[in-house]
Amino acid sequence: MQNGTSANGAMEFFNLKSMPHITRVLDRNQKIQPSILHVIGNTPLVKLERIPKSEGVQCDMYAKCEYLNPGGSVKDRIAYRMVLDAEKKGILIPGKSVIIEPTSGNTGIGLALAAAVKGYRCIIVLPEKMSDEKVNTLLALGTEIIRTPTEAPSDSPESNIGVAKRLVKEIPDAVLLDQYNNVCNPLAHYDGTAEEILWSLDDDVDMLVIGAGTCGTISGTAHKVKERCPKCIVVGVDPYGSILAQPDELNVSDVQMYEVEGIGYDFLPRVLDRKVIDRWVKTDDKGALTMARRLIREEGLLCGGSGGAAMCAAVKAAKSLKPGQKCVVLLPDNIRNYMTKFISDQWMEARDLKPVITNDKIWWWNSVVTEKMVSPISTVKHNATPSDALAALQQSNRDVVAVVNDKGSVRGIFSADNARRRLINLSGSLSEDLEKFLVKKYYKVDLINKTTLGAVSRLLDIAPYVVVVETDISSHIQKPLGIITSEDLLKHITTNKPMNGH
């Protein structure tokens, strides 16, 4: 019988008691929590090491890990606080009231968490841009979801705010907690987030860097921190495409699409107090999402894209601080929300946020897409009906039809898959505008860009087809040539394989 082996030959279990032990102080002051809602807040402040060093930052940097809240974001705090406050005032009645909220998702998840625990019906109004991961989390928590066009201005009836306001009037016992105007939003941070940061650093903070959405986090936290530590410089982080940092030059053309979720708006929320924000730093998707990947890869902090934006701004702003000074950067949400988005290399490559991986061993990887390998698809005009598009789809042997404007430029895609989903939402009606049936989020390559087959192959990892267009440089018309599927790519590489190709 070998050492550690029992009579029947199986390995004996370790003697745990005799091992060297590492014990930690048990720092939760309650052994059992009454509900998951009681675990909101008290998030850790973690010292950053590798990124500040490699970026030449002299001061100490700390991450406030709000992504460790039970719903996965900082917005759990305000959701719970708004619910408690409304219950206290008798506005929300468990089992009767219906919670309705326009959100970029995280406040929705926080409210859904409270609604699940307390037994409310909850309806979340969410722009199309927000991730499927947020949608699936909300559905798992039992909410109903209404999607709205991302590009709809906030003051339009089609926006998530506009739709939520209408629903509150239409649905009996509906309550809009309204994070954009509700004092409980900044108050949750004044009483919670800020107190925790001040406690962790013994009331000595030199810089606070926080992303701006409703601005409840930055306004509430900054108020308390400045009361107790007036020297603290508060830095607001606002993406290009948002007007929060430049309200005086409010210009519609400044409002444009960006990928980072949760920060930036086209209006100034009531819960923003610009007086407590000393500086603003603008961020772009590439910087923000690359930095979020670095926070994950180099610091082990599994945060979302707005955390990357805040860190990107923080490494710039903190260069003005000296050794020994302290900069806190807030990481609002969790990697979970973005597993199919910036966490995917292919998703990043498709948006030019990361170079396409090279592969010199595969003969076709660097070949350029040509018209010959494209499968043609039918086109219909944008003023056709959904029935016309469906007929065109059925006549062709493809699952998609291109929808073009009067000049023949591609406006969107009509796909069997999307039409099926749309028909379920519209209860079987084909009388809506064709525009409402269009797929706007699809992957497209332009022949003039000389895209490689390698890049197309990477896109086909995450999409069923890639649309191929050719832009006429003088007229800017983007003529749809067809699509490439995995089948098309396989056919091309097997029939064109050179003698020495792998």
Query: 106 or 283: whose CB is closer to ligand P1T?
Result: 106
- Helix extents (H) in 192-256: 194-200, 216-228
Pairing mode, strands 207-211 and 444-446: unpaired
Q: Is 380 in the site for ligand P1T (CB under 6 A)?
A: no
Q: Pick the stretch among 213-221, 228-236, 394-402, 451-459 that binds ligand P1T (CB under 6 A).
A: 213-221
CB of 212 to ligand P1T, least distance (A): 5
- Contact (CB, 8 A) for 108 and 126: yes
Asked if 326 and 207 touch (Cβ cutoff 8 Å), the reply is yes
Nearest to 330 by CA among 85, 77, 104, 43: 43
Q: Binding segment for ligand P1T among 137-145, 209-217, 338-346, 349-357 (CB under 6 A)?
A: 209-217
Active site residue 231: no
Closest Cα to residue 156, out of 127, 132, 124? 127
105 is a contact residue toward ligand P1T (CB under 6 A): yes
Does position 73 bind ligand P1T by CB under 6 A? yes
For ligand P1T, which residue of 52, 70, 71, 216 counts as binding (CB under 6 A)?
216
- Give the Cα separation of 96 and 456 in Å (integer): 52
Max CA distance (Å), the chain: 85
Tokens linked to 331: 């990481």
Distance, in Å, from the CA atom of 194 to the CA atom of 64, rounded to the nearest integer, reads: 10
- Torsions phi, psi for 357 (to 5 deg): -65, 145
CB of 148 to ligand P1T, least distance (A): 13
Q: DSSP code of 171?
A: S
In this complex, which beta carbon is closest to ligand P1T, that of residue 262 or of residue 412? 262
For residues 26 to 55, the per-residue mask of contacts with ligand P1T, x marking binding by CB under 6 A and - elsewhere, is ------------------------------
| Residue with Cβ nearer ligand P1T (106 or 418) | 106
CA 277, 279, 283 angle in degrees (round to 5)?
115
Closer residue to ligand P1T, CB minimum distance, 182 or 217? 217
Query: Considering only residues 97, 106, 346, 378, which one is a binding residue for ligand P1T as defined by CB under 6 A?
Result: 106
Place of tokens 């498709």: 350
Residues 292-351 that bind ligand P1T (CB under 6 A): 304, 306, 332-333
Among positions 213, 386, 480, 482, the unique one binding ligand P1T when judged by CB under 6 A = 213
Comparison of 308 and 480: residue with beta carbon closer to ligand P1T: 308
103 contributes a contact to ligand P1T by CB under 6 A: yes
The least CB distance from residue 22 to ligand P1T, in Å, is 34
Structure tokens at 299: 């610091």
Number of residues that bind ligand P1T (CB under 6 A): 22
CB of 330 to ligand P1T, least distance (A): 8
Cα–Cα distance for residue pair 47/29, rounded to 1 Å: 23
The answer to the question of residue 127 lying near ligand P1T (CB under 6 A) is no
User: Residue 107, interface with ligand P1T (CB under 6 A)?
Assistant: yes
Q: How far is the CB of 463 from ligand P1T (least distance, A)?
A: 25
The kind and range of the H/E element at 42 are none
91: phi then psi, degrees, rounded to nearest 5? -80, -35
Contact with ligand P1T (CB under 6 A): which of 97, 217, 346, 375? Answer: 217
**Cα separation, 265 vs 154, whole angstroms:** 8
Residue 136's alpha-carbon distances to 100, 124, 262, in angstroms, are 18, 12, 17
Minimal distance, residue 141 CB to ligand P1T, in Å: 14
Half-sphere exposure of 321 (CA within 13 A, CB side): 26
d(Cα 472, Cα 457) in Å, to the nearest integer? 25
Catalytic residue among 17, 64, 75, 286: 75
Q: Please tell me whether residue 211 binds ligand P1T under the rule CB under 6 A.
A: yes
Q: Which is nearer to ligand P1T, 303 or 453 (CB)?
A: 303
In angstroms, give the least distance from the CB of 128 to ligand P1T.
15
One of 75, 223, 282, 341 touching ligand P1T (CB under 6 A) = 75
Which residue, 276, 192, 202, is CA-closest to 232?
Answer: 276
Of 302 and 377, CB closest to ligand P1T: 302
Cα dihedral 257/258/264/268 (nearest 10): -10
> Closer CB to ligand P1T, residue 216 or residue 482?
216
Q: Give 103 or 478: the residue with its C-beta nearer to ligand P1T.
A: 103
Considering only the stretches 24-32, 42-50, 100-108, 247-255, report the one whose residues sit in contact with ligand P1T under the rule CB under 6 A. Answer: 100-108
Nearer to ligand P1T, 100 or 401 (CB): 100
Tell me the backbone φ, ψ of residue 72, rounded to 5 degrees. Answer: 100, 5
Residues of span 252-291 touching ligand P1T by CB under 6 A: 261-263
Q: Would you count residue 478 as binding ligand P1T (CB under 6 A)?
A: no
Q: Which residue is nearest to ligand P1T (CB)?
A: 262
Does position 452 bind ligand P1T by CB under 6 A?
A: no
Q: What angle do CA 377, 383, 388 make, to 5 degrees?
A: 55
User: Rounded to whole angstroms, what are the CA distances from 190 to 64, 114, 198?
Assistant: 15, 21, 11
Q: Which two tokens stand for residue 304?
A: 């979302």
Contacts with ligand P1T, residue ranges (CB under 6 A): 73, 75, 103-107, 211-218, 261-263, 304, 306, 332-333
Active site residues: 75
